């Protein structure tokens, strides 16, 4: 049979990261590609104890649950959000299958095919896949070390009238950048003036290397959920474990209600057992202490990779030391195509993500994203050596 795929999916590109991850399954391959947390830091024992507790509570734990998610976990998350000056009630929150699903559902209820979405340049790769699936045009505003440049965003809004802004203002993926408070306020005001909702995606905000560095979310700066412009989403993937596939979104209750309707059609609800385990975990386990522990370790791993790269004295390779998150964003020599470099690097046994994957259009090809959280010690050292060797050979050849 000849299958005729819908026009929305026939244009879809597979995620470069997922494709690379397939290539990197071999034991000898050192991967700086995925945004993977350190496995040895997963709170395995605490998750096991929480799961035991849930199962001993009875068979009801295995029943269907609410589309909006397990109420006790929503209440606990409302408290955690309030500690960050984000005040919501459970009706203004929905639990999702990772924050990836929150992005997809929000985009689905806030846009029509053919609409335009404004993003930062560069931006999270899998958000671009969501926009493509929903038939959206993507326009990207220039950004610098302080985040999106408001004047460029303003120009694009005037020219293209985008329906919404998607942003990762704190420790962005791929760049690790943090928007300054001034930029946050300017962008918020700009979007509100233009009646543009914002999806504020914040998976990395908790992973800060200096506890004194606190960045207000766009949601907290706006200070209102009902009829507000900001829809905030976050996840347990980076702070507990991605396999639990648990994220959440907060915002105006009518939009969250609409998201719940779409979610009913998509999957009825996310894993109720995982949500109960997380709820139990939040009762008996010091999650904030755990977040401090992983942040400290990730900060050390970032320094480790930064020092190793610095010691190589690489010509025309630059990066900014991130203050949190999971990635180093490298600018490679002018004219170098990081996709071609990747092929050479994979032969040497190291993988990374070429920066071009993070651009909706006009990619800056001489960029690369390196994850520093998954590996440590000898593997990081060997991976950096392989990367530098590949870079040396590649630049000598071209
Ligand atoms: C910026 C950003 N948003 C969303 C996600 C999705 O995370 P999850 O669906 O695991 O919560 C990721 C994962 O790496 C990410 O980097």
- Model pLDDT for residues 359-386, shown as the tens digit of each residue: 998 999 999 999 999 999 999 999 999 9
Let me know if residue 119 belongs to a domain. yes
| pLDDT at 213 (0 to 100) | 81
Q: Give the residue, out of 37, 94, 126, with the most ligand 1 atoms within 8 A of its beta carbon, to mutate for a pocket test.
A: 126
List phi, psi (to 5°) of 247.
-135, 180
pLDDT tens digits along 136-147: 999 999 999 999
**Count of C-beta atoms within a 10 Å radius of residue 284:** 10
Select from 15, 17, 124 the residue to mutate for testing ligand 1; criterion: most ligand atoms less than 8 Å from CB. Answer: 124
- Could you give the C-alpha distances from 26 to 16, 243, 303, 322, 346, in angstroms and in order? 18, 21, 26, 29, 11
Co-location of 233 and 345 in the same domain: no
Q: For residue 315, is it within any domain? A: yes
What CATH number does the domain containing 92 carry?
A: 3.40.640.10
Tell me the percentage of the chain whose pLDDT exceeds 70: 96
Last residue in a domain, options 250, 284, 318: 284
Of 69, 176, 235, 275, which is best to mutate to test ligand 1, by the most ligand atoms within 8 angstroms of its C-beta?
Answer: 235
Give me 263's structure tokens: 């979610």
The verdict on the CB of residue 203 being under 6 Å from ligand 1 is yes
Residue nearest to atom 14 of ligand 1 (CA): 35
For the chain, the residue count is: 398
- Note the pLDDT of residue 16: 63
Residue 291: CB atoms within 10 Å: 16
Q: 28 with 60, same domain?
A: no
Q: What is the mean pLDDT of the chain?
A: 94
Nearest CA to ligand 1 atom 16: 173
* Domain that includes residue 159, residue range: 44-284
35 lines ligand 1 (CB under 6 A): yes
For the stretch 134-193, pLDDT in tens is: 999 999 999 999 999 999 999 999 999 999 999 999 999 999 999 999 999 999 999 999
- Residue 168 within a domain: yes
Total domains in the fold of the chain? 2
Beta-carbon count within 10 A of 309 CB: 18
- Residue 20 in this model has a pLDDT that exceeds 70: no
Residue 21 has pLDDT above 70, yes or no: no
Distance (Å) from CA 234 to ligand 1 centroid: 8
110 plus 172 within the same structural domain: yes
Which residues does 394 contact at the CB level (< 8 Å), separation at least 6? 336, 340, 341, 344
Does some domain include residue 2?
no
- Give pLDDT tens digits for 335-353: 999 999 998 999 899 999 9
C-alpha 241 to ligand 1 mean position (Å):
12
Residues 352 and 255 in one domain: no
Ligand 1 binding pocket includes 197 (Cβ within 6 Å): no
Q: What is the CATH number of the domain that holds 315?
A: 3.90.1150.10
Could you tell me the pLDDT band of residue 205, with boundaries at 50, 70 and 90? very high
366 and 385 housed in the same domain: yes
Residue 362 falls inside a structural domain: yes
Let me know whether 226 and 181 are in one domain: yes
Domain boundary among 254, 269, 284: 284
Q: 207 versus 212: which is more confidently predicted?
A: 207
Q: Do both 52 and 100 map to the same domain? A: yes
pLDDT tens readout for residues 23-73: 667 668 999 999 999 999 999 999 999 999 999 988 889 999 999 999 999
Q: Which residue, of 268, 284, 300, is where some domain finishes?
A: 284
97 CB near ligand 1 (under 6 Å) = no
CA of 351 to the centre of ligand 1 (A): 20
């Amino acid at each position: 049979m000849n299958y005729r795929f819908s026009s929305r999916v026939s244009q879809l590109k597979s995620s470069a990261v997922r494709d690379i991850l397939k290539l990197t399954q071999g034991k000898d391959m050192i991967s700086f590609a995925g945004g993977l947390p350190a496995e040895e830091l997963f709170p395995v024992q605490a998750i096991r104890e929480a799961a035991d507790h849930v199962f001993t509570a009875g068979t009801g734990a295995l029943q269907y649950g609410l589309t909006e998610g397990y109420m006790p976990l929503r209440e606990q998350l409302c408290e955690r959000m309030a500690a960050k000056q984000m005040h919501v009630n459970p009706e203004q929150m929905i639990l999702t299958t990772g924050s990836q699903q929150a992005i997809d559902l929000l985009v689905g209820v806030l846009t029509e095919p053919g609409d335009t979405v404004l993003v930062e340049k560069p931006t999270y790769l899998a958000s671009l896949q969501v926009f493509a699936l929903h038939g959206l045009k993507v326009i990207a505003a220039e950004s610098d070390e302080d985040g999106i440049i408001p004047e460029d965003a303003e120009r694009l809004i005037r020219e293209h009238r985008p329906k919404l802004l998607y942003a990762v203002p704190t420790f962005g993926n791929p760049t690790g950048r943090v928007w300054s408070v001034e930029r946050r306020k300017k962008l918020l005001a700009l979007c509100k003036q233009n009646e543009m909702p914002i999806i504020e995606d914040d998976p990395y905000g908790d992973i800060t290397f200096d506890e004194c560095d606190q960045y207000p979310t766009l949601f907290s700066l706006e200070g209102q959920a009902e009829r507000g412009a900001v829809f905030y989403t976050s996840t347990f993937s980076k702070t507990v474990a991605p396999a639990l596939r648990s994220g959440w979104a907060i915002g105006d209750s009518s939009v969250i209600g609409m998201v719940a309707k779409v979610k009913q059609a998509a999957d009825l609800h996310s894993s109720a057992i995982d949500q109960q385990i997380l709820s139990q975990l939040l009762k008996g386990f010091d999650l904030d202490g755990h977040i401090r522990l992983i942040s400290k370790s990730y900060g050390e791993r970032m320094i480790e990779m930064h020092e190793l790269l610095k010691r190589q004295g690489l010509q025309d390779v630059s990066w900014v030391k991130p203050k949190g998150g999971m990635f180093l964003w490298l600018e490679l020599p002018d004219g170098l195509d990081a996709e071609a470099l990747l092929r050479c690097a994979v032969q040497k046994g190291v993988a990374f993500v070429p920066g071009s994957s993070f651009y909706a259009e006009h990619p800056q090809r001489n960029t690369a994203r390196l994850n520093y959280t998954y590996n440590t010690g000898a593997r990081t050292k060997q991976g950096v050596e392989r990367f530098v060797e590949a870079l040396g050979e590649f630049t000598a050849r071209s």
